[in-house]
Structure 1
Amino acid sequence: MSFETRASLRLWSAVLVLALPAAAAAWQAQPPRPAAPPPVIVVQPPANARFQQVVREHEVRDQLQKSQLEEQLRQNQTDATRRPYAANPIHATRLDQADQAQRELYRARQQDLLDRYQNAVAPPVVHPDKSPASSRSGG
């Protein structure tokens, strides 16, 4: 073997000797992969559930429209009540506060109606790793 061949073999051997521990340390230093989230099982509703859902959708839509009309009537009444007191800032401020409270109440009622509808039509979600609360409470 020539001198150049032996020198290149020694160089490669030295590179491998130095690179192997560094590669092993880098491989061991990698963080563990996070565990996959548990699967979510969606329970299919019975066959007549779609009809029931459509009925509930219509009921909610009707209730929302009725509530919206009532709010419009209330706004008209508030505007009519406000006219005679427009020049008095104390009465105007009180009417503004009352109107704001009524609007917040209206929004809360609408949101409650939508939340109850969503809870009624959403399919139940079962987490396989969690048992029901009733079975956990031993007494």
Structure 2
Amino acid sequence: MKKMAKRGKKPFNFDSEVLEKIEVLASRGLAQQDIAYCIGIHPTTLSEKKYENEQLQEALKRGKAKGLAQITNALFEQALAGSTGAACFYLKNRDSENWTDTQSIKAEINVSKLSDSQLLDELRQDPVIVQNLKHFIPQLE
């Protein structure tokens, strides 16, 4: 009579070859779920093993860092070569205080003691506020 195979998780060995493959996949930007499927294990298994195996954690971190460095360098090189889009993207992400498409308005008004008409008068004094709020508060115009 044939013996039935045991059910359950198959043992998986994270040897140096597998760890190298994991690092390469992580450097390509794959999510951990996709990495797990590529190496033939369930995502839950990878997630569990990641906390038990420091080499696995390091392979994932190194891969992510290498991929980020490669793409950052490529973007930087494109910006230096004259790509306006690359330069704008780089500056908006690296120096967002000075390079942004959005404007923020800082205003401090103690409205608790103002009547509605006084509040409207106060708001009307700033043309930027009027421009941004006139669609929401028609009385500003």
TM-score (normalised: structure 2): 0.26
Q: Larger Rg: 1 or 2?
A: 1
TM-score (normalised: structure 1): 0.26
